[in-house]
Structure 1
Amino acid sequence: MNQHEYDVDQLFRKRINYPENEMITFEKLDDILEKTATAIPFENLCIIANDTIEITKESLLNKIAIKNEGGLCYELNAFLYFFFLNNGFNVQLIRGVVYNDKEKRWNSVGRTHVANLLEYKGETYLIDTGFGGNLPLKPVPLSGRSVASRNGEFRVRKLATEHGNYVFEMIRKDKDQEWTLGYAFDSNRIVNTLSELNEIQQTILEHEESPFNKRKLVTRLTKNGMKILTDTSLTEWIDGVVKKTEVDEQGFKAAAKEHFGLFRS
């Protein structure tokens, strides 16, 4: 990569199609999160291909901004973190433990979810662009106040668990009837070095209960719904209507390219 390609701000803006000279204020974060969610897919193709590389600022920029790939939480939220830092925000990366709602237990792979905590005018907000299709699309205050977006209703509640002092909860549109646990996190345990992200990547790659090392998954929000691609099907939600198409290996490659702009298979 040439030196100019390391410009986090310009690369991020280009990737999500955001005006290159517009000043980034807290009030514009909703729009940035919306554009990020519709532009960059949540996907595990590197994990499935066992083709991971060491996570650095440059490798993240190369993967997501130069090669136009997506990534998992520790990549997408770190990419967002560097953009926030570059624009003068007080932001930190934190780690969480995801709750398995089907089995009613905490995921045994441990603290492998990564998100951002951003402080603004004395209040702290959770900002997450790496939780698959379950994105708040807005900063969520740690005060317990819920926020609503086209994707549902979301809140962060102060609750002591074995995994931290807060829980992220959601009522996902067309999915949940009541508040559902997403993950727990400790607001006092900050990610201090990128080596932690590499440790998370290794765990997701190798752990027998990792949800991301068994089958291909690509998902992305769209302006009027969501798309999910696995190695057997493409499911599209369009204005609440579900359309599901079976795919084989060739069909997966074609759908990854057409619907998500991904050329890796």
Structure 2
Amino acid sequence: MNELNALFRKRIHLPGSETITFEVLDNVLARTAKAIPFENLRIIENKTSVISKPYLVNKILVNNEGGLCYEINPMFYLFLIDNGFDAVLTRGVVYNNDTESYLTFGRTHVTILLTHKGQTYLIDTGFGGNLPLKPVPLSGETITSSNGQFRVQRSNGELGDYVLEMKLKHKDTDWKIGYTFDSRKPVTDLSECNAVQKIIVEHTESSFNKHPLITKLTDGGNLTLTNTSFTHWDHGIVTKEKIDRVRYKELLKEHFGI
């Protein structure tokens, strides 16, 4: 077992002796969502680096940080490849449900497509609190997890040929669009993630270069921390606390280990 494989298993508390099959990916995805937070702290602290395999291993598996989609999903993709899966990365465009329109500053979402027994599935470990926690087939079939319902529908849009839709548990009563992606345009080199990072870091409309955001899933829901608030969803009950800088640092360490 190579270093990446061993360190990833350690990070998500997965036994080194366990064989990773398609049937146990649900468990692996759930463990990943609870162990690795979705966060933008290096952007806020102006400490971003060039995306590469060694960088991702050091940041996420050695330093025990989290990351955004262009870091967490490539990390999970590398883990899948190491365990014998047929997977590729691809880029998508996130949908803003408030304005009912797709973001206009580029294909800034990086996600994973996995092929198993002739069927292609979407896998996402880097979409904040909107994680399916299971492989989602590109057949339109609805899958249900502890985080809600998810499906991937065909699309004729110019931005992609498929759309991820979701109905989050305790939050959504109707289907919402997550993002569109193009299954025909795989990311051929990990270095392409640097183009995504550049947009996220520099663009004025990016929501990730304004203030710190850290979130991760829990057994009962999810935790979200910013520099001004701490929100806890637990089995449909939400509590929100206004915080100062001292409390922010306390919560960052207590709940996210950062």
Shorter-chain TM-score tier: over 0.9
Q: Is 1:64 matched up with 2:66?
A: no
Match of 1:169 among 154, 165, 171: 165
Match of 1:90 among 68, 86, 92: 86
Q: Who is 1:191 aligned against?
A: 187
Q: Who is 1:146 aligned against?
A: 142
Q: Which stretch has the larger CA shift, 150-159 or 243-252?
A: 243-252
Match of 2:233 among 207, 232, 237: 237
Superposition pairs of residues 175-214 of structure 1, within 5 angstroms: 175-214=171-210
Q: Who is 1:24 aligned against?
A: 20
CA distance, structure 2, for counterparts of residue 118 and residue 74 of structure 1: 17
What displacement does 1:33 show?
0.3
CA distance, structure 1, for counterparts of residue 55 and residue 186 of structure 2: 22
Q: Who is 1:135 aligned against?
A: 131
Gaps of 5+ in 1: none
User: For 1:177-221, what per-residue CA distance to the aligned partner results, in whole angstroms no more than 9, with x for missing partners?
Assistant: 111111000001011112210110011000011111111100000
The amino acid across from 1:91 in the alignment is: A
CA distance, structure 1, for counterparts of residue 164 and residue 31 of structure 2: 22
Match of 2:75 among 72, 79, 96: 79
**Is this contact kept in 2: 1:136–1:154, CA < 8 A?**
yes
What displacement does 1:239 show?
1.9
Q: Is 1:53 matched up with 2:45?
A: no
CA distance, structure 1, for counterparts of residue 246 and residue 66 of structure 2: 20
What displacement does 1:175 show?
1.8
CA distance, structure 2, for counterparts of residue 177 and residue 167 of structure 1: 19
Q: Which stretch has the larger CA shift, 62-71 or 102-111?
A: 102-111
What displacement does 1:109 show?
2.1
Match of 2:250 among 233, 236, 254: 254
CA distance, structure 2, for counterparts of residue 143 and residue 43 of structure 1: 31
Over the aligned positions, Cα root-mean-square deviation in angstroms equals 1.0
Q: Is 1:115 matched up with 2:111?
A: yes
SS, match of residue 59 in structure 1: helix
The percent identity for this pair of structures is 55
**Is this contact kept in 2: 1:99–1:181, CA < 8 A?**
yes
Gaps of 5+ in 2: none
Q: Who is 1:220 aligned against?
A: 216
What displacement does 1:242 show?
1.3
CA distance, structure 2, for counterparts of residue 97 and residue 242 of structure 1: 29
The amino acid across from 2:233 in the alignment is: W
Which 4+ runs in 1 deviate beyond 4 A?
A: none
